[in-house]
Structure 1
């Protein structure tokens, strides 16, 4: 994992924590897939799992993962 990836993950977790503390009911995360190089489905799944495992302990529950062109959108709902 490179420094840029670590910084982006830290930012994502910080945004998720802020949204949860603010009382938001939903949180949306996502990432773009680099189309300039070959990216395997295994790498994409690993990234999805990494994001879900980082955000769910805060109090969010993953409800959907949706691919869109060269990106992935992950929706979370506040756990009750």
Structure 2
């Protein structure tokens, strides 16, 4: 995992914590896929799993994963 990836994950987790603390009922996370790079589906699924695991640990529940062209949106609802 590179430094940029670690920074983005840290920022995502921070945003998820802030939304949970504010009392938001939903939270959306996502990432873009470089269309010029041939990214295997295995790596995309691994990234989805990393995000879901990190955000669910805060108190969110993953309810949908929606791929759209060269991006992936992951929807969460408040679990507790």
TM-score (ref. length: structure 2): 0.98
In the other structure, the counterpart of 2:28 is 28
CA distance in 1, matches of 2:48, 2:33: 12
In the other structure, the counterpart of 1:40 is 40
In the other structure, the counterpart of 1:57 is 57
- Structure 1 unaligned blocks of 5 or more: none
CA distance in 2, matches of 1:28, 1:37: 25
TM-score (ref. length: structure 1): 0.98
Q: Give the number of equivalent residue pairs.
A: 80
CA distance in 2, matches of 1:4, 1:14: 15
- Structure 2 unaligned blocks of 5 or more: none
